[in-house]
Amino acid sequence: MGFDVVEGPEIETDYFNFEALNLHKDHPARDEQDSFYITHQLLMRTQTSPVQIRTMLDRGEPPVQVIAPGRTFRRDNVDASHSPVFHQVEGLLVDRHITLAHLKAVLFHFAREMFGKKTKARFRPDFFPFTEPSVEMAITCTVCGGDGCSVCSRTGWLEILGSGVVHPQVIRNGGLDPDECTGFAFGMGVERIAMLKYGIDDIRLFYENDVRFLKQF
Amino acid sequence: MKAPLGWLKEFVEIDIPAPELAERLTMAGLEVSEIVTERFGLEAARVARVVSKESHPSKPGLFVLKVEVDKRQLTLAANLPQFGKGSLVPIACEGFLFPDGSALTPRKMGGVPSEAKILSEADMGVSGRHDVVLPLPTEALPGDCIIDLMGISEQVLKFDLTANRGDCLSVFGIARETAAVLGKPLSKTPFDDSTPFPTDSARCQITIRDRKLCPRYTGRVLLDIRVEQSPVWMQRRLIAAGMRPINNIVDTTNYVLLETGQPLHAFDLDTIEKQKIIVRRAGKGEIIRTLDGEERKLTEDMLVIADTGRPVAVAGVMGGAETEVTENTSRLLLESAFFDPASVRRTAGALDLRSEASARFEKSVDLARVGDCSDRASRLMKELGCGRPVGPMEDVFHGKRSSKKITVSVKKINCILGTDLDENTVRDTLERLQFKVTGKRALKIEVSSHRPDVSIPEDIAEEVARIFGYNEIPMEMPMVRTHRAVTAEGFRMRSTLRGWMSGIGLDEAYCYSLSNREELERIYGGENTPDMVPISNPMAGFDTLRPSLLPGLIKAVSRNIAHGNDDVYLFETGKIFSPRHDGQPEEKDSLAFVITGRGWHFPTRQAARSQSADYSAAKGIVEDILEKLGCNAEFGRSNSIFLHPAKSAEVIVNEEKMAEFGELHPSLLQRMEIDRMVCAGEFSLEKMAPEFDKEKKFKHVSRFPSVPRNLSFIVSEEIQAGEVEKVIRKKCGGLLESIELIDVFRSEAIGKGKKSVTYSFRFRHPERTLDDEEIKQKTDEIISSVRDELGGFLREA
């Protein structure tokens, strides 16, 4: 669809990882327990969203149309659905008249390409400090096709990504003028999507590197 | 947040079934994670069918009944003759809680097991009669839960709320949202009654010393306090909403907390010194014993409620033990206040003391309703007969009294959403949410105080969108102007390399970027460990950033061998880290591979001669990559601590080390408890990058014939094959088209400390055919150079 690939550092500053994304010092998502810190100001990035800010600052003017894949780190107990190291893909489109309707269309198209042409998408409100309105997108469950099963908690839907219209403060922090341009952003966990698509039941398999697993893909 | 459906229905008409309500609220942004049926611990009251009836063996007048429920048979004794085989009977099973709090446990009565009891009206709290069996409705079926039949069980919606919706941490808050979503009016609010209370001389005095941390504090006095059990209806609502009933005073404060979202606290007024409340920061070293009996050390950034002497509560978090309401309390002080959210969050975190109260203060309570909620509680206490509220209420209010106003045009809202909503739709939607709207086209919206999360036009757009329905918003592909591409060079290079390595036949691995220092030191062998970047808050053994990709890959090989996988060929591209003395650690891109096994059969030049993943195979992989890069490389001695000193090499391009590879060092294999040969290699992508982007230039392909020759030399062991090659290349210049080491041989005849190396050459001139004389001459020159420079001798056939 015309998105360029950009990258950012794995060691991020507190500013780019949190502050610039509208996550202030007392925000619950800032709990020390959840991030690996190197120094007081440097941490292993917890999301690929910082690349949004870096790219906007780098580009200097709209349009900015990028995706930013990369490693992310969370200080979580390691189990079948949590890994301290995982990957995300971030997307950002900022231009003069970008709307929520555009976000829906782009994500819907992505869902169809990724999961099959019969896939349906459901959008519902959510909350992220760096988007407003914020959207959670779900797709028809890849396991039961929407009938309801244990994987989708009998709802028939699987939530796969968070997104929204970029918060004006974040646009400002990116050095752009929110009165001149608007944008949307989205982020998804790569391992999670792979696990849903292929039916893999344990995230740790991606990092154990057993050749019997690797050879399947 | 748990909201019992019956309680919600008090405030708004809900005429759809619970699952549909849950779906609609979820799609409006209030996610319902579960609908549970609350049975108040009375699940063990069931309808059973009598299977057999006999007279009691030893007690006259008693019958032994066997009843069946849930495919289980239970035995019970009763003196009721009316039940025979086939009758349906209400029973209490093991675990049933009687109104006095005791639980039914199986026992023996006169030698006969008594596993259940026939329920009387008194057992279910229907009447006081123990001798009347609870009547069953005609539609009762075996296995039914009595409580469901009686309509006592409650459906409860469990919400998974987003962090910005503190206003929904109450039943009324959810009812407000439900009204907006369903498009219905609120049938009532907790604040409808505003009758003032009679005045009295009993007063309290309030002083706020820190206005920022506490912009509003109210205190109401209640007299004639009578502490007892709260009524069953209130207990049941508290249980359904997830709180434990304690006594009428505490329960009322909790009830109003759940209903309105405003936490309240009751002090015994006569334990407050001079009946003076001072809201201030804690002093250095101050201590308080909280309600749970624990002693808490306070710090100066914590806000406390104090009297003229000492702290009596940790503001917004928990009350103190010395001032709590007891059965001796005769006068009560009811606190209702607004505390700074960030301060409550920090304090609750520092003391590790999170409560239903702190959870709500953290998300901000409704500043304008602080007093009204207190009144609601006072009225309720009066109704229950546990206290007599007197006025006036002390209300110290320093905060902003005016409500937030946002101006936004309908056009802007449509611009953000990509919709074409007309003004009436927008206005209606906002009014359903209790926002006051004035103006035309440029709407002036007054946001009520229960929504501190709404402050900019984008927040208004989101409110409109979520009530209108996200799924109703159209989809439209954006038109973006073409623009200068912003590409990540590193990404391109790594993608290409991954393709090359996969093409050679290796599997891509992903290893953790975080490692364990102890483990790394073991792999590196102690003092050879390079400087590494530590994690300041490690977890689960992850305390260091990886300085190289090899340790992770070596561990992966070890794991594979342990799982019985003998042929392991892995590569990884990723970042490695090293500390910089001036601050931010350095991140570098790296490519590395490890191979082990007998099944190596990937044709890569030298490796074509290997049957197993050995040094030649590793060299073959490296040469393959170098060839694809089209770069001129030299091989030199490697001093990597990972690698076997005699079976390893460095790759030098433009006088810099770009890679190294070889067999893993035997002592490393020993430390890792690996019992077989493993080869590995690592490339620096930083050094590779210039070669990657280098423009290729065509080299003329000569049409003239080439002349092959083979020569064997005997050299001492220390001479590397690469050195001999270097000497030969230097001598031949452009005439040497290719040279390849085809054999290395050792024997008694050759001698100890020596080896025979055989090279296969091809000579070719770009513009003419070479003649035998020239070839002989060149060959002689080669033999001389090797002798003079390296002390090697031609080996006679």
Per residue in B658-680, pLDDT (tens digit) is: 999 999 999 999 999 999 999 99
List all residues 6 or more positions away from B452 whose beta carbon is below 8 Å from its beta carbon: B166, B364
Say yes or no to pLDDT of B631 above 90: no
CB atoms within 10 A of CB B536: 13
Share of chain B above pLDDT 90, in %: 57
List all residues 6 or more positions away from B73 whose beta carbon is below 8 Å from its beta carbon: B51, B66, B67
Is the minimum CB–CB distance between A74 and chain B shorter than 8 Å?
Answer: no
Say yes or no to pLDDT of B611 above 80: no
Q: B719, B734, B709, B708: which is closest to B787 by C-alpha?
A: B719
Say yes or no to pLDDT of A71 above 70: yes
Instruction: Give A51's pLDDT tier (boundaries 50, 70, 90).
Output: very high
Interface of A with B in 27-66 (CB under 8 A): 27-29, 32, 35-39, 42, 44, 55, 58-59, 63-66
* Residue of chain B whose alpha carbon sits nearest to that of A31: B349
Distance from CA of B567 to the nearest CA of A (A): 8
Distance from CA of B282 to the nearest CA of A (A): 20
A95 contacts on B by Cβ (under 8 Å): 478, 480-481
Say yes or no to pLDDT of B606 above 60: no
* Residue of chain A whose alpha carbon sits nearest to that of B341: A26
Q: What is the pLDDT of residue B741?
A: 80
User: How far is the C-alpha of B111 from the C-alpha of B28, rounded, in Å?
Assistant: 61
Instruction: Give A32's pLDDT tier (boundaries 50, 70, 90).
Output: low
The answer to which of A13-22, B53-62, B193-202 has the lowest mean pLDDT is B53-62
B23 contacts on A by Cβ (under 8 Å): none
Instruction: Give A29's pLDDT tier (boundaries 50, 70, 90).
Output: low
Q: What is the pLDDT of residue A33?
A: 62
Of B341, B485, B584, the CB nearest to A11: B584
Which of A23, A36, A159 has the most B C-beta neighbours within 10 Å, making it the best mutation to test the interface with B?
A36
Q: What is the pLDDT of residue B754?
A: 86
Say yes or no to pLDDT of B88 above 70: yes
- H-helix segments, B393-440: 410-417, 423-432
* Residue of chain A whose alpha carbon sits nearest to that of B347: A26
Q: Is B442 helix (H, G, I), strand (E, B) or coil?
A: strand
Say yes or no to pLDDT of B472 above 80: yes
Say yes or no to pLDDT of B19 above 90: yes
Query: Do A93 and B478 make contact, defined as CB atoms within 8 angstroms?
Result: yes
Say yes or no to pLDDT of B305 above 70: yes
Distance from CA of B367 to the nearest CA of A (A): 20
In this prediction, residues B40-67 reach a mean pLDDT of: 86
Per residue in B331-378, pLDDT (tens digit) is: 999 999 999 999 999 999 999 999 999 999 999 999 999 999 999 999
Average pLDDT, chain B: 89
Q: B118, B152, B125: which is closest to B4 by C-alpha?
A: B152
* Residue of chain A whose alpha carbon sits nearest to that of B163: A127
Query: Do B483 and A73 make contact, defined as CB atoms within 8 angstroms?
Result: no
Say yes or no to pLDDT of B604 above 60: no
Q: What's chain B's length in residues?
A: 797
Query: Do A123 and B471 make contact, defined as CB atoms within 8 angstroms?
Result: yes
Instruction: Give B202's pLDDT tier (boundaries 50, 70, 90).
Output: confident
Tokens linked to B390: 């007197």
Which of A67, A98, A100, A103 has the most B C-beta neighbours within 10 Å, making it the best mutation to test the interface with B?
A100
Instruction: Give B696's pLDDT tier (boundaries 50, 70, 90).
Output: confident
Instruction: Give B737's pLDDT tier (boundaries 50, 70, 90).
Output: confident
- For residue B578, what are the β-bridge partners? B586
Query: Do B470 and A124 make contact, defined as CB atoms within 8 angstroms?
Result: yes
Say yes or no to pLDDT of B601 above 80: no
| Cα distances (Å, whole numbers) of residue B704 to B700, B736, B775 | 12, 13, 15
Report how many Cβ contacts below 8 Å link chain A to chain B.
Answer: 204
In this prediction, residues B184-202 reach a mean pLDDT of: 91
Q: B714, B720, B715: which is closest to B636 by C-alpha?
A: B720
Higher pLDDT: B793 or A134? It is: A134
Q: What is the pLDDT of residue B605?
A: 56
Per residue in B103-130, pLDDT (tens digit) is: 888 888 777 888 888 888 888 877 778 8
Query: Do A102 and B476 make contact, defined as CB atoms within 8 angstroms?
Result: yes
Say yes or no to pLDDT of A62 above 60: yes
Phi/psi class of residue B424: alpha, beta or left (left: φ > 0; alpha: ψ in -120 to 50)?
alpha
Quickly list DSSP for A59-125: H-SS-EEEEEEEEEE-----BTTB-SEEEEEEEEEEETT--HHHHHHHHHHHHHHHH-TT--EEEEE
Query: Do B415 and A108 make contact, defined as CB atoms within 8 angstroms?
Result: no
Contact B227, B250 (CB under 8 A): no
In this prediction, residues B608-626 reach a mean pLDDT of: 82
* Residue of chain A whose alpha carbon sits nearest to that of B495: A5
Higher pLDDT: B207 or B611? It is: B207
Is the minimum CB–CB distance between A113 and chain B shorter than 8 Å?
Answer: no
Q: What is the pLDDT of residue B197?
A: 92
B585 contacts on A by Cβ (under 8 Å): 11, 38, 42
pTM: 0.84
Per residue in A158-179, pLDDT (tens digit) is: 899 999 999 999 999 999 999 9
Instruction: Give B609's pLDDT tier (boundaries 50, 70, 90).
Output: low
Per residue in B740-772, pLDDT (tens digit) is: 888 888 888 888 888 888 888 888 888 888 888
Per residue in B381-440, pLDDT (tens digit) is: 999 999 999 989 999 998 777 788 999 999 999 999 999 999 999 999 999 999 999 988
Per residue in B507-564, pLDDT (tens digit) is: 999 999 999 999 999 999 888 889 999 999 999 889 999 999 999 999 999 999 999 9
Instruction: Give B608's pLDDT tier (boundaries 50, 70, 90).
Output: low
Say yes or no to pLDDT of B797 above 80: no
Tokens linked to B387: 């206290």
